[in-house]
């Protein structure tokens, strides 16, 4: 199967190229949607998940590719959810695919060697706590691993518990009067809330789906039909992802817009609001020589 044969490095140059075409930056959602279109992935491809974690394979490989490119200083994500093409990344576009792959491989060899050295030093009690806990030592695996663990935990939750979590998330995000209805036969509507923005308020209906695969366009269409005349906007939250047709349907011209929150964005929102995750900040220090001072002594 084509999806299972995909390698992380298949996405390296396409990611750099699409960031360049979008003006040097892109959100995770934009990036995934463009790559899905470029590789012509079908809905069935997007629904394939890892057997152990249940995480969708394609978004997972794209996430790893971003992390590896970051390790090679070809991309950066200084702002959460937004990835930026670095000057080195822009220059790398002229090198060719093999040169980009080799640069990333070289960066990962350096990273793995350093990680091994720190682990060995820890065994000999030579490594400092800062070295053991620094973000660099955690490397590109860290941001992917916790998301997979969180998504696995979310998928194991009872439907009512997941709905309450989404309710809490919406409250923490500025919604007021958030109610979980969960009525059967109500077009998949799980709740309603009011999003207050300064002097303006919007009535929003939401749907919560603990999916392992991809939410398809008929689900979005049915949800829009159920919300017709009852709300200003709609919101679908899922632990999975959305097919390209579902994303197009959500923003179809002439129809009420529906916002989509997939598993990766859901994890990011929960992280930012510290819901279901614990974040421990670690101080790191970078030491360099002050040659001017030493020369003046």
126-143 pLDDT, tens digit per residue, is: 443 333 333 443 444 344
Between CA 30 and CA 38 the distance in angstroms is: 12
Using only the alpha carbons of the chain, give its radius of gyration: 22
- In the chain, CATH 3.40.1350.10 covers 157-272
Between CA 254 and CA 278 the distance in angstroms is: 42
Q: H or E stretch including 180?
A: strand 175-180
Q: Which fold has domain 157-272?
A: Trna Endonuclease; Chain: A, domain 1 (3.40.1350)
Specify the pLDDT at position 139: 42
**C-alpha dist (Å) from residue 9 to 13, 20, 145, 218:** 8, 18, 19, 33
Which distant-in-sequence residues (6+ apart) come within 8 Å of 238 by Cβ? 208, 209, 210, 211, 215, 260, 261, 262, 263, 266
Specify the pLDDT at position 59: 84
Q: H or E stretch including 266?
A: helix 263-272
The DSSP letter of residue 9 is: G
**Ranges of residues in the chain whose predicted pLDDT is under 70:** 1-4, 53, 78-80, 118-144, 182-187, 283-284
Specify the pLDDT at position 86: 92
Specify the pLDDT at position 237: 95
């Amino acid at each position: 199967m084509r999806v299972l044969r995909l390698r992380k490095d298949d996405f390296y140059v396409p990611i750099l190229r699409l960031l360049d075409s979008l003006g040097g930056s892109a959100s995770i959602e934009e990036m995934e949607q463009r790559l899905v279109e470029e590789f012509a992935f079908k809905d069935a491809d997007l629904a394939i998940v890892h057997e152990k974690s249940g995480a969708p394979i394609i978004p997972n490989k794209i996430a790893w590719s971003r992390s590896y490119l970051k390790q090679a200083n070809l991309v950066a994500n200084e702002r959460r959810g937004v990835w930026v093409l670095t000057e080195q990344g822009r220059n790398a576009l002229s090198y060719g695919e093999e040169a980009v792959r080799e640069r990333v491989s070289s960066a990962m060899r350096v990273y793995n060697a350093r990680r091994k050295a720190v682990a060995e030093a820890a065994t000999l009690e030579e490594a400092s706590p800062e070295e053991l806990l620094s973000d660099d030592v955690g490397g590109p695996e860290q941001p992917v691993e916790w998301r997979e663990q969180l998504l696995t935990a979310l998928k194991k939750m009872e439907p009512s518990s997941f709905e309450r979590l989404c309710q809490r998330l919406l409250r923490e995000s500025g919604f007021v009067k958030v109610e979980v209805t969960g009525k059967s036969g109500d077009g998949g509507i799980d709740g309603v809330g009011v999003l207050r923005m300064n002097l303006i308020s919007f009535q929003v209906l939401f749907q919560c789906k603990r999916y392992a695969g991809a939410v398809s366009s008929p689900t979005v269409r049915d949800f829009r039909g159920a919300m017709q005349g009852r709300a200003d906007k709609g919101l679908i939250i899922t632990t999975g992802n959305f097919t390209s047709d579902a994303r197009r349907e959500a923003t179809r011209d002439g129809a009420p817009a529906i916002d989509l929150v997939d598993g990766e964005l859901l994890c990011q929102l929960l992280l930012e609001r510290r819901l279901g995750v614990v974040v421990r900040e670690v101080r790191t220090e970078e030491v360099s020589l002050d040659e001017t001072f030493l020369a003046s002594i």
